[in-house]
Structures are given as structure tokens and as C-alpha cells.
Amino acid sequence: MTSALTESRAAEVPKPVPQETGGPLSGRLVVDLSRALAGPHAAMMMGDLGARVIKIENPGTGDDTRGWGPPFVGPEDDPQATYFLSCNRNKESLALDLKSDDGRTILRQLLERADVVVENFRPGVLERLGFSTDAMHAVNPRLVILSITGFGHDGPESHRSGYDQILQGEAGLMSLTGSGPDDPQRVGVPIADLLSGMYGAYGVVAALLEREHTGRGQVVRTSLLASLVGVHAFQGTKVTVAGEDPEAQGNHHPSIAPYGLFRCRNGSVQISVGSEKLWAAFTSAFSIDPGTEGLATNADRVRNRTRVIEVVEAAFAGYEPEPLLAKLAMAGVPAGKVRTLKEVYEWPQLASQGLLVDVEHPLLGSVTLPGPPLRFFDNVDGAESTKRAHTPPPLLNQHGDGVREWLAATEVD
């Protein structure tokens, strides 16, 4: 009901005129057929890079994430989910029923003009709608198609529905996260979704670059499973090369010590002693004998982790967190605190890196969103060329009339 109200209110919003906004993907058109998080995140990354992104949503209900909450903000009769706001900036919204003749016709017209399509349907769904990869490439051979699934597009478990919570367990990430092997924990954000979106956007950019040489588009496939296996890093080679099965070790690094969270008076701090030079600096600052038996080398310290934690926390026992961080900084030892997210977004360093963007939302007014993580600089004069003008996540079908008018007024090259 609220989504339908949003759609009606969207019709009252003045139709924006698409503009060149700058960025490496300026002039590219992305058709975002995806929903939830993995695909929308990939498409948002392309929008952050300057592409025009048209998000296709179901009439009346829109993307699933429009209903994921609380928290909701805005009018009581038309609340907006902050989840949706997190992954749909720099997009236009067009509501299409892809089971109708009109919906399929409009989508086909968009495909004729598009550079990229993003989709995360279950395998076979697009084929049943008449938009298989072959069919889309028949419409536009230069089209780059990003397809994201849960467990992969083929193989014995390709049929399974993929959700972040499930994949964090199935891909082994939860076995590495938590206080110990009997305490598996999920990462506090949908990391499989986010990583598959990032890998997908990376693949799209590579395919667009290759298209400059071949003149042809191609299909880029990734999955939540692949994205998590792709970041196993040294934990993966511990299995494939060393034949070991890693376990969760809480807030301490499995291959470096001391490297983790350590208690002090009335709090805790994190330190990263990643080299023997840093170990020497650390032990000098806190009057610890660097050659103590069992602690002389990193390999020794990893084998004797419990003893290392005891020694470090004994040295920290007399310090409050802030004076301790100052002492560690003077010694040149990398250290930090554990901030709440509220503290992070109030941190001046975030604003200095462009990680906060202000947009004008048609229902919410001025809102601040987490910003894109990339910055660009000219190699001649060093001037920053990062895209600065961002648009808010759209209301459902906010741009429907405008997109249809644009299609009617333009011809395919």
C-alpha cells in the first residue's frame, strides 16, 4: 500500500532531465533489473562512476528493500526504508510489468540503447520472460550483461536460492568469524551481497574495456559463493596448500602476533605489530624484553598467542585508552580504537574523504548518505575529478514518464 502511494507521489515530482554528471562511465547507460542488494550495489557503483542508471521495478511494490525495515523514515503514510536508501543513489526508477506486452516493449527499447544490464534473477527466470542472454544480445550485440546468482549459474547446486546469511555459512566465512570454533558469527553487514556487487562492477568495467577492441559485449557472471571464496585469502591457502582447517580466533590474527584487540584500564585498544621492527619498537616502549623465550619471532608469538596476550595486557593495564593510543603513536606502533557507527559518521576524517554525500530527496528533504569509496585525480595538474553531484535514491516510478518520453524521442545509433 505504501509503495503504491509512493508511486502516485512520484508522478507529482517534476521530471528531472538526465544530465552528464562526469566520471569515468559518463555517457554509459545501465539498465538495472536487479533487486535486494548484490545487483543494486553493483549498479550504484556504476552510477557513482557517472553512468546513467535506470532501475526497473515491479509496479505497486518496487524493489523488495523498499519494505525492509525498520528503520523507516519520512511520512507516516508513506515511510521510506533506509535499507533501500543505502544502495540506490544515482538511479532513475521506472516501473515495468515484464509479463506485459508494454513492459517487454519498453525493456527491449532500453536494451537497444544500453551499454550494461544488471540482473540477479534465479537461473531461468529471464529466459521465461523472453530475455535470455542470447535474446538480449540479439537486440544489442554490444551489451555487457552482469548476472549475479547465489551459488553459481551451473554446477550441482546452481538451483539453490542465494541469501547472504546462508552463503556466509556455506562459504565458510562464519567458521572463521566469532570468539572461537564453537561460536560461528555472521559479519555485521551483508558482505556476500556487497562483495558480489563489487566483483560484478569490476567485471563490467573490464568487459567494457574489452569491447573497445572487439566491438562485442559479453556476459559477466559472479555469485555470492564466488565472492566469498574470492576473499578467503591466506585462509584459503591454509587449506589448499598447508592442508589445515582454519578456525575462528576472535579478535586476534591467525598468522601475526600481537595483532588484535587488547584490554587496558577501562577499555581496550587494537594494535597491529606486523613486523619484527614494530615488535622491537613496541617492546622498547613498554619495557618488554623482545627476546623473551617463546616470543622472539612472529612464528613463536603465534604459537604462544595466549602468553602474548597476557604480556601485552599486563603492559597495558595501567593505561586508559586515549593515553595508551597516544603512547603507541609516539612509539610508531599502528593502533586504533573500536568506534561505534555513530562515532564513525561523526568523524571528520570521513567527510575529508568524500564519504558523506548530501542529496535532496523528494519526500525526505536534505539527507546525508554514505558516499562512494573511490576518488579520481588528474595526472597533469592533480585536480580532483571525482563526481560530486549525486542524486537521491528514487521514489518508485519517479522517472517513468521521463524515460518513456526519452525513448520515444530518441533513435538507436
Q: Helix %, strand %, coil % for the chain, to 5?
A: 40, 15, 45
Q: What angle do CA 121, 65, 356 make, to 5 degrees?
A: 115
* Amino acid 81: pLDDT: 96
φ/ψ (deg, to 5) at 331: -80, -10
pLDDT of 1 > 50? The answer is: no
Query: 233: closest CA among 223, 246, 220?
Result: 246
Of all residues in the chain, the percent with pLDDT exceeding 70 is: 95
pLDDT of 15 > 80? The answer is: no
Matching fold, domains 2-231+350-409 and 259-341: no
- DSSP per residue, 279-328: HHHHHHHTT--TT-TT-SSHHHHHHTHHHHHHHHHHHHTT--HHHHHHHH
Q: What is the mean pLDDT of the chain?
A: 93
- Give 365's contacts (C-beta < 8 A, 6+ positions apart): none
* Amino acid 5: pLDDT: 59
- How many alpha carbons fall within 13 Å on the CB side of residue 150? 19
User: Out of 9-18, 227-236, 278-287, 323-332, which region has the weakest mean confidence (pLDDT)?
Assistant: 9-18
Domain boundaries, the chain: 2-231+350-409, 259-341
Q: From CA 379, how far away is CA 272, in angstroms rounded? A: 33
Cα distances (Å, whole numbers) of residue 357 to 40, 107, 188, 354? 18, 31, 23, 7
Domain 259-341: CATH class, spelled out: alpha beta
Q: Are 86 and 357 in contact (CB under 8 A)?
A: no
pLDDT of 127 > 80? The answer is: yes
* Amino acid 411: pLDDT: 85
Q: From CA 63, how far away is CA 150, in angstroms rounded? A: 18
Q: Which CATH architecture has domain 2-231+350-409?
A: 3-Layer(aba) Sandwich (3.40)
pLDDT band at 413 (very low <50, low <70, confident <90, very high): confident
Q: From CA 334, how far away is CA 409, in angstroms rounded? A: 58
pLDDT band at 85 (very low <50, low <70, confident <90, very high): very high
Q: From CA 35, how far away is CA 273, in angstroms rounded? A: 42
pLDDT of 17 > 50? The answer is: no
Residue 253 grid cell? 590474527
- Region at 143 (left for phi over 0; alpha for psi -120 to 50; beta for the rest): beta
The catalytic residue positions are: 193
pLDDT digits (tens, 9 = 90+) for 30-73: 999 999 999 999 999 999 999 999 999 999 999 999 999 999 99
